[in-house]
Chains A and B, each alone.
Chain A
């Protein structure tokens, strides 16, 4: 039978479409690769090493494309990204050791599952709350609530990050956008993100990007760009490790990349048009739905009910598809408003 890089044409097309959705997501939020692709590959019947290895390699490729796009807009802090990568690598090692320790006690699976659900829910709540506050206070709510005055250079930095930046613990580092952050904060955040990645066995973009935004303190666009660059470095290490084991399916990676390369361009480009506040609430809600989906996935294993696994997958992909459509809709709306007056009669 006719096959494209070992895949049937139907499966190849499915991966291209799926890759497009993940690409839009990845380009806009700087996360969502392994988080969406690994469960999809597992549901399609691929073994865990092939699913994880191919997913990590795909994340690596998409991160290259999305980082280049964000680089064009000057939204990548390379120095911060490289520094974070060192801390993250050390944190991953500590996190994985923690898992092995828990495994010896026989409670690793339960603890990791519960931690994943709570972390997703906590970050989802953080984004949803922040978006609701911004909406209620005309975009200034979070800042006025914390009693922190905004200045012109820190206009896009959230209040909590401005408060953290106000504690100047040397040595300080100047970020690409001119903000100052303590190296202690950067190291702590990187190690923390690494521990979570290693502990949960995930890429960690959904923790990394909010950590850069809310704790280190950059604009959301710079947090996305820098998170992507760090993801590129970690993805490269992951691709090398799984590549050595010979479990990366290049057919899957190529098909996904074909779609995601276009999606990532559109997602990254949309960050310049779409008001972050319009989409942040959907992102928060999506993470909350994802936490329910992961909880159902865990319940499927405990209760031996495979149907819950399928419900979990539908929830995960359905919510991501919805947010992807919202990004494209708001992008088109923003372009229309931007171009409308000049083209109207």
Chain B
């Protein structure tokens, strides 16, 4: 899926900005999502590694 397919009929600049917007949104959501996962699972994983 390209920017052109994301926004059919949009100008190249708008399509490019839409792609950048999607990537920024994905990056922020993934950072936050994995952050929550790290807070929940991090101590358990660290404890497991410490025991081995």
Interface residues of chain A, those whose CB is within 8 Å of chain B, are 5-6, 57, 60-62, 64-65, 68-69, 236, 239-251, 253-254, 257-258, 261-262, 265, 332, 335-336, 338-340, 342-343
Contact = CB atoms under 8 A, between A and B. Distances in A.
A265 B38 contact: yes
Given A335-B46, A343-B51, A258 B1 contact: no
Contacts of B6: 250
State the 4 A-B residue pairs at the shortest beta-carbon distance, nearest first: A243-B16, A339-B50, A261-B30, A64-B27
Interface string B25-49: 0111011011100100000001101
Nearest to A243: B16
A254 B26 contact: yes
Given A240-B16, A257-B23, A257-B30, A248 B50 contact: no
B interface: dominant SS: helix
Contact of B23 (A239, A245, A246): A239
Nearest to B26: A257
A222 B28 CA distance: 22
B29 to A, nearest CB: 9
Given A250-B6, A335-B49, A336-B50, 4 more contacts: A246-B2, A250-B22, A257-B26, A338-B50
A244 B27 contact: no
Contact of A257 (B19, B27, B35, B46): B27
Nearest to A252: B1
Contacts of B35: 265
Given A265-B34, A332-B49, A343-B50, A244 B13 contact: yes
B50 A240 contact: no
A330 to B, nearest CB: 12
A243 B19 CA distance: 7
Contacts of B13: 244
A236 B35 CA distance: 23
Nearest to A263: B34
Given A236-B20, A261-B34, A335-B49, A250 B27 contact: no
A61 B23 contact: yes
A69 B28 CA distance: 11
A241 to B, nearest CB: 8
Contacts of B4: 246
A336 B50 CA distance: 4
A236 B50 CA distance: 40
